[in-house]
Amino acid sequence: MALSDVALGGSMLLVAAFVFVYYTTWTILLPFFDISSPIHDYFPAREWAVRLPAFILVVGLSGIGFFVGFTIANEKKKKALKAKLRAA
């Protein structure tokens, strides 16, 4: 395993840990703080705690659906081309 793989994996792990801690604080711990607390300045409105993951889910599922559909269409074209070449 190259050093760049280790660095990439470590940086991905750090980003994932930061996102987890930030989102968990935003959604679970923030309601227990008073509205006038300065910690509220570091987070967007609570409605985005639902909207953002929903948007990411829709985009991700759409991307997966597009990839699967594109792959199936390409395979059908390849099979049709092979059948055409066999018949000729």
Check whether 88 has a pLDDT greater than 80: no
Residue 22 contacts residue 44 (beta carbons within 8 Å): no
Question: How high is the pLDDT of residue 23?
Answer: 94
Q: For 35-53, what is each residue's pLDDT tens digit? A: 999 999 999 998 999 999 9
Angle at 14 between CA 44 and CA 33, to 5 degrees: 35
User: How many whole angstroms separate alpha carbon 58 and alpha carbon 2?
Assistant: 35
Q: Alpha-carbon distance 55 to 76, whole Å?
A: 32
Residue 23 CB burial class (10 angstroms; 0-12, 13-18, ≥19)? middle
**pTM strictly above 0.85:** no
